[in-house]
Chains A and B, each alone.
Chain A
Amino acid sequence: MQMQQANGLINKAKGRPPRTAGSLREAIIRRLLGAAAACSLLFLALIVIFLCLEGLPAFQHLPISEFFLGMDWYPTSEPAEFGIFPLIAGSAVVTLLASALAIPLGVMTAVWLTEIAPSSLRRICKPFIELLAAIPSVVIGLFGMVVIAPILQNYFGADTGLNLLNAGLMLAFMSVPTICSVSEDSLYAVPPALREASLALGATRWQTTWRVVLPAAFSGIGTACMLGMSRSIGETMVVLMVAGGAGIIPISIFDPVRPMPAAIAAEIAEAPFQGEHYYVLFAIGIVLFAFTMLFNIIAQHITENNKRVAD
């Protein structure tokens, strides 16, 4: 999905068709289509409005500092404690671990696809990467539960196989295709003339790739990483199923964690409607939304800067 998103980002400048005589019918059609296009704007606005509507009341009684920096997540004890710091830490650590695995893997695969693989092999391999992106998250979660967890428990001495490492591995799995296809697009966009010039100067193919192609595609790869991280931090089913669900700040990679999406998914169904717990869970939704927005805006910023440079 993010591949198309990035394609959208790279809006090729192109000529417009000539304006035809403005009959009423044309004007109406134009307006209707405009209204359809405005729907996306409307939906995004509705998402923000409803998140805020249900999330902001949490701060009537709960100081914001306590919400963000509180160390204890005991949403139903008396008195309840809503410190989401362990949840943010869980999300951050899982995302970082997944990215540390997925970014090298994704970018390297993209480089292989564009720079090295013969075109026949590329045509066979590329669909595989795309299919990897298509595996439903719940199936990957199941795989983590029934295959990876026992392995971590039995062979790596983890107290529980449902932990940070397992979640990081499974998330890496899911973000590799995103990172790979967006990087690939940006590597393709590097003009062949640059490669030819470098090779003509006597550089090897690796030197050309490392010193010329990668720097030229750097911003696109940056976008890819951001989109990959955005996908990791927002992914729900995998962390719900394999992260273990303990609201602690992890010290070892075998510690269980409770990332934000898992907390929302596990608790929202049981939180009393429009009670404090419910509001706080929506507030976590706002935090999550803000994080992914941030990653997306950085990604768009990188792309736009790059466009300006290219122009």
Chain B
Amino acid sequence: MLKRLLFVCMFCLLGSGAFAQAAAAEEVIVSGSTTVLPVMQVAGEAFMAANPDVTLSISGGGSGNGIKALNEGLCAVAMSSRDIKESELAEGKANGINATRFAIAVDALLPIVNPENPIRDLSAQQLRDIYSGKISNWKELGGKDENIVVISRDTSSGTYETWAELIMKGEKIQARALLQTSNGAVSQIVSTNSKAIGYIGLGYLNDSIVALTMEGKVGNAETALNKSWPLSRELYVFTNGEPKDGVKKLIDYLLDPRKGQKAVLESGYVPISK
């Protein structure tokens, strides 16, 4: 009985080993933040057209996921909407991976509401109270007498962490908040629900939702770059050590003002080099 089981195990492992021998062409796997994803998609298409010898596989999953995948050697380029944490850096070192940072764009987080909602401006304090649950009706902010439906990102996304750090300042987001897995989902829900409030990256803004101003300040490319918009952050990609071969080509492409940085602009973010 036991022998039989062992035999089956061996068989399975041998089989998979044989497959593993098959050779792969140069393929660069990119993974991570959904905030950086649109840039990578737009730039990636043009990049692959210009470099037919390199193919890209791009997946989202969030900043933490991307860095995790980099540390495990599962991807060559990790996209992240936040800086790497000490713990993550140490984890990579333990696996012999030396995460190297490249800032590729600047992004602004924007609080958004449905166009039917009359509210157009909120203070950081009001946003904090809404998200912590202290304010639960739009009436309290001068809007309609309707419950506020709070939309937030999943707790492990870089966007969430930025929001938690810059707006919540240590206070907890209420448990009633609808947690969504991506910027796109937040924007989609807010665009179909007049009671909803959410937050997204600048690149996800479209006509079906309205960005709020904060105490009169407008969040856009200019204010993000000169840091006057309080909710701005840099977007990064991480590689293992100094980039080589296909990865180097990709990073160079991304940082080139006439190539990758144009994709940054097209995706609605602010180019970091001109």
Contact = CB atoms under 8 A, between A and B. Distances in A.
A76 B179 contact: no
B261 interface: no
B72 A273 contact: yes
A279 to B, nearest CB: 14
Nearest to A263: B179
B56 interface: no
Nearest to B1: A38
Nearest to B60: A269
Contacts of A168: none
Interface stretch (A60-68, A210-218, A240-248): A240-248
Interface in B1-46: 1, 4-5, 7-9
Contacts of B64: 270-272
Interface in A208-258: 240, 244-248, 256, 258
B189 interface: yes
A130 interface: no
Interface string A47-77: 0000000000000000000000000111111
Given A74-B172, A150-B192, A245-B180, A42 B72 contact: no
Interface stretch (A9-17, A95-103, A157-165): A157-165
Contacts of A38: 1, 4-5, 8
A149 B192 contact: yes
A246 to B, nearest CB: 5
Contacts of B63: 270
A162 B149 CA distance: 11
Contacts of A269: 61-62, 65
A246 B178 contact: yes
A288 B192 CA distance: 33
B175 interface: yes
A35 B4 contact: yes
B136 to A, nearest CB: 10
A31 interface: yes
A160 B178 contact: yes
Contacts of A160: 149, 178, 189, 193, 195-196
A246 B175 contact: yes
B175 A266 contact: no
A47 to B, nearest CB: 14
A159 B146 CA distance: 9
A75, A150, A267: most-surrounded residue (chain B CB, <10 A): A267
Contacts of B162: none
A86 interface: yes
Given A35-B7, A38-B5, A269-B62, A244 B193 contact: no
A48 to B, nearest CB: 14
B27 to A, nearest CB: 20
B83 interface: no
Contact of A270 (B1, B157, B175, B180): B157
A305 interface: no
Contacts of B192: 149-150, 153, 161
B100 interface: no
A246 B176 contact: yes
Contact of B156 (A34, A75, A153, A247): A75
Interface in A254-306: 256, 258, 266-267, 269-273, 277
Contact of A162 (B71, B72, B178): B178
B155 interface: yes
Interface string B192-209: 110110000000000000
A29 interface: no
Contact of A266 (B68, B177, B179): B179
A258 B62 contact: no
Contacts of A73: 175
Contacts of A72: 175
Contact of A34 (B4, B68, B157, B172): B4
A271 B156 contact: yes
Contacts of B179: 245-247, 258, 266
Nearest to B160: A76
Contact of A161 (B9, B72, B193): B193
Nearest to A265: B181
Interface in B139-188: 147, 149, 154-157, 160-161, 164, 172, 175-181
A215 B155 CA distance: 50
B68 A273 contact: yes
Given A266-B154, A271-B156, A31 B4 contact: yes
Contacts of A77: 155, 164, 172
A72 to B, nearest CB: 7
B88 interface: yes
A272 B193 contact: no
Contact of A76 (B71, B156, B180): B156
Given A247-B175, A270-B154, A270-B156, 4 more contacts: A39-B8, A161-B192, A266-B179, A273-B72
11 contacts: A34-B4, A38-B1, A76-B155, A76-B161, A77-B172, A153-B192, A266-B154, A267-B155, A270-B61, A271-B156, A273-B71
Q: What 8 pairs across the A-B complex have the smallest Cβ distances?
A: A270-B156, A270-B62, A76-B155, A245-B179, A269-B61, A270-B64, A270-B65, A248-B175
